[in-house]
Structure 1
Amino acid sequence: MPNATFDDCDLTKFCRLDELGLVAVGQRLEPGRAVLACRVVEPDDWCHRCGSQGTPRGTVIRQLAHEPVGWRPTTLQITVRRYRCEDCAHVWRQDTTKAAEPMAKLSRRALRWALEALVLQHLTIARVAESLAVRWNTANDAVLAEGQRLLINDPTRFDGVTAIGVDEHVWRHTRRGDKYVTVIIDLTPLRAGTGPARLLDMVEGRSKKVFKTWLAERDQDWQDGIDVVAMDGFTGFKTAAEDEVPRRWRSWIPST
């Protein structure tokens, strides 16, 4: 009897291209990477300006770094069809924003892979860039932007916070620029015994003003819900907490 536990081989699903609105039409294995030829699933042949149906006017190739397949750097070569509207003469290309941001060099799956590799697997940016076969700056900029979008810009990350920790961290080891950042941690899960602490924010600089400004940016209901502010002996953090969340905070100085 046929084995019902397996499906037919499908490169599109295996490489998760269906999540990007793409379908694989070919592959090429090179010594240092795999190249997947793809096309956009949706035709997108209706004029974005007047709504008339457009006429195909050739194709262009868009290349994107994709998440590695078996740790082999993988590149997507996407054939993007161009259209022209006969009514208003508008020219456009198939929409590929499901696969990547405009002008981006990494697919959305590559962005997620890079962020998880950095945060969960503790890979360096150099290792991430090597795995994606892109330049260090390309990988670094992409990871920072994706982290900003998923983590820092998440409006729900402050929900339910009742205990925070604050400390400084040396992040720049050069002579120019501020070498400190102020790190704010949510200690609520640790305090309640429901999970580990989590990062809330990182703000450039280390001073009373930096922490005071960060606290002032939170709404009053959030400030009223904070009853523990854990910190070291730095006076600036202590006075900032006293100013913004008075009578509801306690400082904790870890033993050395």
Structure 2
Amino acid sequence: MPDATFTTPDLTTFAGLDELGLEVVGQRLEAGRAVLAHEPLGWRPTTLLVTVRRYRCSGCGHVWRQDTTGAAEPRAKLSRGALRWALVAIVCQHLTVARVAESLAVSWNTANDAVLAEGPRVLINDPHRFDGVKVLGVDEHVWQHTRRGDKYVTVIIDLTPVREGTGPARLLDMVEGRSKAAFKQWLADRPASWRAGLEVVAMDGFTG
């Protein structure tokens, strides 16, 4: 390709495996799947086949394995790339857990447990998710349709991107209950400097 904007084809980079510290050394394309990478290419389930090196010290005889935690959690069925793909598919593309599980060729429980664990790690525990928030949206939401426990939650949304025309609203948090005290406590838990930066709070007419 003479166009200088293109680089030499690299399957490792194309599949995103370089981010996991892995390198593609072969491929096997079957009718139902591709054995190569860590996340679906299109809607065909794609399996990552990894060779893990074992090392042995000639002096003491100690044996250890290559560290692959950059690619996936120990004994995990999904790589870190697959977890990110699943989270984006559910949060941004509104896919169901069943559809995500089918795309990753895992059970519903495996996909659901992985997303529930990855969500707090990537979203809730992100220290920068409150940066630049100037406009808040607050509303109540029916979280569960059962008679046990509080079925309502207070939803807090970042509306700053909408007002500034830079993107869609972002979910900041969900607090159990829909009382005035629930939202008040949530605000109290934020730093005073952050609260001082708020300009607008858009909320429904409920007591919160």
Per-residue CA distance 1:48-88 (angstroms, 9 max, x = gap): xxxxxxxxxxxxxxxxx821123110111211122233455
| 8 Å Cα contact 1:66-1:73 kept in structure 2 | no
| 8 Å Cα contact 2:11-2:24 kept in structure 1 | yes
| Residue 181 (structure 1) aligned with residue 153 (structure 2) | yes
Structure 2 residues not aligned, in runs of 5+: none
Partner of 1:128: 100
1:27-38 aligned at under 5 Å gives the runs 27-36=27-36
Partner of 2:195: 223
| 8 Å Cα contact 1:163-1:229 kept in structure 2 | yes
Structure 1 residues not aligned, in runs of 5+: 37-64, 238-256
Partner of 2:23: 23
Partner of 1:114: 86
1:232-251 aligned at under 5 Å gives the runs 232-235=204-207, 237=208
Could you list the structure 1 runs, at least 4 aligned residues long, displaced by more than 4 angstroms after superposition. Answer: 5-10, 86-89
| 8 Å Cα contact 2:17-2:38 kept in structure 1 | no
TM-score by length of 2: 0.85
- Count of aligned positions: 206
Per-residue CA distance 1:157-189 (angstroms, 9 max, x = gap): 212222211111122233434322221011223
Q: Secondary structure at the match of 2:139?
A: strand
Name the structure with the higher strand share: 1
**Shift in Å, 1:232:** 1.3
TM-score by length of 1: 0.71
Which deviates the most, 204-213 or 119-128?
204-213
Could you say what the CA RMSD is over the residues aligned between the two structures, in angstroms? Answer: 2.4
1:1-256 aligned at under 5 Å gives the runs 3-5=1-3, 10-36=10-36, 66-235=38-207, 237=208
